Structure 1
Amino acid sequence: MPVPSQLSTAVLRSCGGIFLLAALGQCAGQPGTSGHRTKAPAVITNFNQDWQFVKDVDTTVTAALFAKTGGPGQWATVSLPHTPRIEPVVTDQQQWQGVSFYRKFFRVPSDGPYPRVTVEFGAAMHTADVYLNGQRLQRHMGGYLPFTVDISKQVKYSEENCLVVRLDNRDNPVVPPGKPLKGLDFNFYGGLYRTVKLRLCNPLYISDAVQAGHAAGGGLLLHYENISSESATLHVQTEVQNNTSEDQNAQVRTVLFNEKGKEVARGLSEAISMAPAAFGQVKHQLTIAQPQLWSPEQPYLYRVVVEVLRDGKVIDRQQTTTGVRSIKFAAKTLTLNGQPLRLRGTNRHQEYPYLGYAISDNAQYRDAWKIKDAGFNFVRCSHYPPSPAFLQACDELGLLVMDSTPGWQFFGNEEFAKNSMQNIRDMVRRDRNHPSIVLWEAALNETDMPKPFMDAAHRAVHEELPFTENVYTCGWLDYAYDVFIPARQHLKAPDYFNKYAKDKPLFLCEYGDWEYYAHNAGFNQTAFSGLKESERTSRQLRGQGERALAQQALNFQEAHNDNFRGPAVGDANWLMFDYKRGYAPDIESSGVGDIFRLPKFAYYFYQSQYGPVADRNGFGKPMAFIANYWQPTSATQVVVYSNCDEVELQLNGKAVARQRPDATAFSDRLARAPFTFKVPAFAPGTLRAVAYRNGKPAATAERRTPGAAHHLQLSYDRSGRDAGQQDVVFVYAAVVDVNGTVLPEATAAIRFAAQGHAELVGDNPVRAEAGMATVLLKTGLGSGAVQLTATADGLPSASLKLTIR
């Protein structure tokens, strides 16, 4: 049989589309070469609805679990993604851990003896035992990566089937990250928290890369060579699996389309022969003339459609998006498509308040949108692989990615090491085709890993992606990996890693938090002298006031500026959003946005480092932000962040000053330094910043002295995606004065209500923090209007109509 070639991008498994379960009957049979019926392209059914859930019950699997009226405890009807418990935001009680059960009753139309029926789990936290009709079929260990259960032989056609998943998310030292929750710097929550799909297809099909389980194989594998603005070569490897009892012949057709749907290139293979239970690999080499190159500024995506044909008829189909780009890491330099690039990054934990990991694809997109809006061009997926929907958003929006295997300050026994290695391979197999991924963190973060493990982990990535270009591993120890990614605080002031002299690419994967929290106070020792720890730290909640938020932003500015003094090709701050962790009851608050995704001052510092020319998606346009609330207690030293050439600050219509960016030891290396003004004295009214580019006004910002609380304003978080069906969105209520100015010290208790195909999740009523209160809105399958209201004592109520499409 032919041997495979390689590929690269993200697999969006769409074999004929997504239909309701009733649509499975549309796979009409046609005569085939082996005597059984040939099916139409596979049908993938969203399997997220009508599950039943129970927890904190007898953990024994008995026959009663599979009877509609049986089983332990009271079953709740739920939809996926799902988390076992609505988790409070701040509490001295840790996240829920234990054994839970999910079950689903379903029917598959009668369809002969050969069709392949599988259940595809996006993720399950973290040890899953899967049963069908009382028979245990599979155990999967690991909470962040997908697995497929083949139920072809056990499923009963035209009869009711019962699928049961027993989930256990208790501490387990052999399941990465392995460290007990009480000592872990993040939470791992629980549940079937990603999408589940039912797939019905022919027994001759394009395999799944993770399920196939062999290096550089399975599914689609894309790889580019000879990339330039004139042409590029795309190699597409397709693996076809024969799950019949007879020899099979098939052809593979590969077609590449541009964003407008125009065909760019195609290939059609000769017929390949596959023995029973064997696979065949087809390689196509497609030439792209004058390709649109993918970059953070221009994230252009092509579409690859691959079809399996037997007797000229399409029997399976997959498609994926792909971006043409080359990346090269070297000592002191990084180039993308042959051009120098500096990585300006952040770290992101995927959790949401209340729901943990169980969020919608739209919510994943909104997180990526915010990261790009904040001025970053890179994100590290700390400390585990993220949702495929997040990676797809990074592809679309133009965010470079470090994909990370699960791990943090823990190395276990031989079984743990084996499971970690499997995680690394499965991560690469799932994510290998995303143009956004430029680094593979095949290392356990801040863990003292044995050298043989690091050697094997580095080798595993290169075995999965056996190409001479565009593949880079990374790790926090300066040993086996292609790129060294320490955190800034792993060395001490004043030099940190600025004197790193090895002939190896260096990227600072964390900075700006710990060095201002426990070890020292950065370089600004004089200014920090005598301050309490809480006043110098980067861990500042939005509600701690403008001085705290300004300090956090200054810390990030100082550290980011200093990182330019060394050989690093970029850096990633710690971190994008506040989050919860196992070893402490409070929120880890060094995010540039809070846990509800509301921005802090530092968000706008980073935003000022991008632009001022808008990219393809509209990010990076001219901006200005006043890092001050302008109240009687506000500092009269006013900092303005802008990506423009000059800024004029006005107070009540009169110019305070017009000046160029700062030139200090904390800003001398920045792409765009802040503008610091000294206002002679506080006067109530309006501060206005006018940013100039090439001598002309390009952006403005205002701060008005807040008056008395007058009413509430309601809004919800769009961030590039309106609310959709089966979505979760943040709803914000602001306490404002008569002019609509938010009162940054307001802490009123606000109650939310919703009418329509949606429910509210979270504390309700909830106290405002820095004048804003937040609740989560979870939508259902229905479309149409949702009416939101917010009320608070002594203030008129506010309402907002939100349309679900």
Structure 2
Amino acid sequence: MRKRIGLNFDWYFSVFKDTYINDYKTIEKFTKVDIPHNMVDLSFNYNNPHDLQIVGLYRKTINILEEYKGKILRLVFSGVAHKAQIFINGNYVTTHFGGYDEFKVDISEFVNYGEENYLSVVVSSKEDEKIPPFGGKLDFLGYGGIYREVSFEIINPDYIKDAYLRLVDFSKKTLGLSLYTTKNAGLIKLKLTSNNTNYEKEFEITDTANNYLFDFEDIEFWDIDNPILYNVELKYYINDELVDEVSFKTGFRDLKFTKKGFFLNGKQIKLIGLNRHQTYPYVGYAMPKSVQEKDAEILKYDLGVNIVRTSHYMQSSHFLNRCDEIGLLVFPEIPGWNHIGDEEFRNHTINNVKAMINRDYHHPSIIMWGVRINESLDDDLYIETNRLAKRLDISRPTAGVRNFKGSTLYEDIYTYNDFLDSSEKRILTKPKKVIKNAPYLVSEHTGHLYPTKITDKEEILINQALRHYNIINASLKQNDLLGVIGWSFVDYNTNFGFGSEDLISYHGVMDMFRLPKYAASIYKLLSNQEPFIDVLSSLKPGEYNSRYIDHIYVAANVEYIKLFRDNKLVGTFYPEKKSNFKYPLIKINDFLGDILVREEGITKFSNKLLKSILPKVYKQGLNLSFFDKLKLLYVLRRNKLTLNDLEKMFYKYSTLDATFRFEGVIKGVVAVTKTISSFKKANYEIM
């Protein structure tokens, strides 16, 4: 029977020395570590990327039982950045190239049975031009180390090599099973279970490669709103003896991409998402399962996106598993960024396509394969990567990210990084100007055009948010556009020549700690979460030029907002009418309403005049136009006020030194409130 043992604790790490290979037992001067592990911990910013270019050595003892004789013994590495040499008891076993794919190492012939064995892994994080994504200038860091989990597999000599279960016919509810075994005989027992289903079927093995079709009448389809997953068990019997068992989770759904949109199980969905780097402050890539899962939850529940692109490499299985569970679509891709190297580099690229599809085949959240190196040209290579992807998986389309128009399309979907700057009249390129007669997806936008620190002036934070808002809004009405994926989910450390002075690319709608900028609130407008109000302003005059706030925006999934100033009603504000969002932004450009009428006893017309003049007085003092001075004179005489009265009124009402309460109303009932005071922190309450 198959058995897998985790090997994530009690490792020892040191910077590599040549003498360590022969002296394979020593751990003197090594540091005890657990996996995931980052070989070089960084500061938050102002890092030197060259510090990452090291070779490290990991050591661990593994007890190989006598009963394992005759079995296949494999080490499974989920991710080692970026070159790994494996040694057992000082003997060289193999080398793996690449930092983002899972790889397995057969150590059966190298171990001593019935005793402790010494595993050594030499890891190089140097940017080797023969290993994707390296070779050119790179706008992210590769980090280094054994940064994903390691396990130990014990398998019988007769076993299931690979199994691929897929939906073949949506209307007929037909499934297909491709099965590869070491023997051309035996019996397979399939079991599919969910909360509502228990399905069993048997298949005769007549070859080492077998394909089966069968109907599953009670199937429930996986969807972004109802992500039904099945537990799959495959038991392999030879002469009535159970020799192997494989289990995994999957879901079944129908995908269609056309020039008129993306359809999931026949329902059209506009793809709105963000690009994700798998990076974190200080530790780089080395984060465990719970944190990987949390990123998926933030994207789905906090931000409301329905798709994430795993830029620019394959990412953690934990992240993908959680995407499956919560209904978050995924666009994965092979490692690479703006560079294609020599023949060895190309071979690694082809191997990455195979590794990506083999590992992630059963994730229903994955709706296409990214088989092109980001923003790079090489027709011969992409003919091969597409051919391989189609051979490995006929159920999904291929895609490839470009930043140039009209290139030869070998993939099924044309994905394009659309960065139109603010000087352009349009904010999205017309699809027909990029590619004709093909499904079209914007795979990046905004990003480096609007770098924004979470500590920037509010004007910068708001401009970034409005850019995302306007692009999403434009995409929602374009039927010839599959959707838009923004750059990016979070900020990230980067290389020389990119990002800010402190070598951080501040392109995220959240910072590296997953704290939201105002742009994050734009994506929340797409979600179906509980009622919320996000005021895209602190209402602190010091954040604005001349200390004057003309208007603010509020992101809220409510029908309208009632604004109160020091518990006095200012007015009712409604979402923009000309918007394609279900819940458009709400613009508030009046912080007084008729308070002057009620509190100071002036006429309604005088109130209107004063509200038009007060901003000018605040910005330029009494340096007013002749016409504005006449207005002031009218207000004084009409309401029997002195200049002293007017001055007091000005200082009392022209600033925002007050407490503002925002009440979000749904179906006539206050569903959520938010209070912001210039003297207190914001209070937030869901009714």
TM-score w.r.t. the length of structure 1 is: 0.72
Could you tell me whether the CA contact under 8 Å between 1:631 and 1:706 is conserved in 2?
no
Find the partner of 1:631 among 537, 540, 554.
Answer: 540
Aligned match of 1:672:
583
How far apart are residue 672 of structure 1 and its match?
2.6
Find the partner of 1:621 among 530, 538, 552.
Answer: 530
Q: Which amino acid aligns with 1:68?
A: T
Cα separation, 2, equivalents of 1:342 and 1:323: 21
Pair 1:88 & 2:88 matched? no
Q: Which amino acid aligns with 2:53?
A: Q
Find the partner of 2:333 among 404, 408, 414.
Answer: 404
SS of structure 1 residue aligned to 2:285: coil
Which structure is higher in helix share? 2
SS of structure 1 residue aligned to 2:147: coil
SS of structure 1 residue aligned to 2:469: helix
Cα separation, 2, equivalents of 1:408 and 1:156: 43
SS of structure 1 residue aligned to 2:351: helix
Q: Which amino acid aligns with 1:587?
A: I
Find the partner of 2:429 among 473, 497, 506.
Answer: 497
Cα separation, 2, equivalents of 1:485 and 1:194: 29
Q: Which amino acid aligns with 2:430?
A: N
1:752-791 to 2 correspondence within 5 Å? none
Find the partner of 2:139 among 177, 185, 195.
Answer: 185
Cα separation, 1, equivalents of 2:535 and 2:230: 40
Cα separation, 1, equivalents of 2:396 and 2:569: 52
How far apart are residue 197 of structure 1 and its match?
0.2
Find the partner of 1:318 among 246, 249, 262.
Answer: 246
Cα separation, 1, equivalents of 2:564 and 2:536: 14
How far apart are residue 676 of structure 1 and its match?
0.5
Aligned match of 1:232:
173
Cα separation, 2, equivalents of 1:60 and 1:422: 33
Taking a change above 3 Å as real, the CA distance of residues 464 and 296 of structure 1, as seen in their structure-2 partners, is: same
Taking a change above 3 Å as real, the CA distance of residues 149 and 595 of structure 1, as seen in their structure-2 partners, is: same
Pair 1:100 & 2:59 matched? no
Cα separation, 1, equivalents of 2:218 and 2:665: 37
1:456-535 to 2 correspondence within 5 Å? 456-465=384-393, 467=394, 469-476=395-402, 478=407, 479-489=409-419, 493-495=424-426, 496-500=428-432, 502-514=436-448, 517=449
How far apart are residue 381 of structure 1 and its match?
0.4
Q: Which amino acid aligns with 1:190?
A: G
Could you tell me whether the CA contact under 8 Å between 1:640 and 1:689 is conserved in 2?
no
1:638-717 to 2 correspondence within 5 Å? 638-663=552-577, 668-678=579-589, 679-680=591-592, 681-707=654-680
How far apart are residue 169 of structure 1 and its match?
1.3
1:276-675 to 2 correspondence within 5 Å? 280-373=208-301, 374-447=303-376, 449-465=377-393, 467=394, 469-476=395-402, 478=407, 479-489=409-419, 493-495=424-426, 496-500=428-432, 502-514=436-448, 517=449, 538-564=450-476, 566=478, 567-583=480-496, 584=498, 585-611=502-528, 620-633=529-542, 635-663=549-577, 668-675=579-586
Cα separation, 1, equivalents of 2:564 and 2:213: 61
How far apart are residue 290 of structure 1 and its match?
4.3
Aligned match of 1:169:
125
Could you tell me whether the CA contact under 8 Å between 2:445 and 2:484 is conserved in 1?
yes
Find the partner of 1:255 among 185, 191, 195.
Answer: 191
Find the partner of 1:220 among 150, 163, 182.
Answer: 163
Cα separation, 2, equivalents of 1:302 and 1:286: 16
Per-residue CA distance 1:265-304 (angstroms, 9 max, x = gap): 221122546xxxxxx2344434333432212111121111
* CA RMSD, Structure 1 to Structure 2 (Å): 2.2
Cα separation, 2, equivalents of 1:232 and 1:474: 30
Per-residue CA distance 1:320-374 (angstroms, 9 max, x = gap): 1111211111113111110111001100000111111111011100000001120
Identity of aligned residues (%): 27
Which range moves more in the overlay, 85-94 or 589-598?
85-94
How far apart are residue 60 of structure 1 and its match?
5.9
Could you tell me whether the CA contact under 8 Å between 1:59 and 1:99 is conserved in 2?
no
Could you tell me whether the CA contact under 8 Å between 2:665 and 2:671 is conserved in 1?
yes
Taking a change above 3 Å as real, the CA distance of residues 227 and 695 of structure 1, as seen in their structure-2 partners, is: farther
Cα separation, 2, equivalents of 1:160 and 1:294: 46
Cα separation, 2, equivalents of 1:158 and 1:420: 40
Cα separation, 1, equivalents of 2:586 and 2:97: 52
Aligned match of 1:268:
202
Aligned match of 2:601:
none
1:700-739 to 2 correspondence within 5 Å? 700-707=673-680
How far apart are residue 61 of structure 1 and its match?
5.8
Aligned match of 1:68:
26
Aligned match of 2:613:
none
Taking a change above 3 Å as real, the CA distance of residues 82 and 92 of structure 1, as seen in their structure-2 partners, is: closer
SS of structure 2 residue aligned to 1:325: coil
Aligned match of 1:78:
33
Cα separation, 1, equivalents of 2:220 and 2:665: 33
Taking a change above 3 Å as real, the CA distance of residues 687 and 234 of structure 1, as seen in their structure-2 partners, is: farther
Could you tell me whether the CA contact under 8 Å between 1:550 and 1:627 is conserved in 2?
yes
How far apart are residue 558 of structure 1 and its match?
2.2
Q: Which amino acid aligns with 2:491?
A: D
SS of structure 1 residue aligned to 2:273: strand
Pair 1:196 & 2:150 matched? yes
Cα separation, 1, equivalents of 2:87 and 2:79: 16
Could you tell me whether the CA contact under 8 Å between 2:231 and 2:250 is conserved in 1?
yes
Q: Larger Cα Rg: Structure 1 or Structure 2?
A: 2
How far apart are residue 203 of structure 1 and its match?
1.3
How far apart are residue 52 of structure 1 and its match?
1.0
Per-residue CA distance 1:687-724 (angstroms, 9 max, x = gap): 222223333333333323344xxxxxxxxxxxxxxxxx
Give 5+ residue unaligned stretches, structure 2: 544-548, 593-653
Taking a change above 3 Å as real, the CA distance of residues 121 and 456 of structure 1, as seen in their structure-2 partners, is: same
Aligned match of 1:528:
none
SS of structure 2 residue aligned to 1:289: coil
Give 5+ residue unaligned stretches, structure 1: 1-40, 208-218, 243-247, 274-279, 518-537, 612-619, 708-736, 742-805
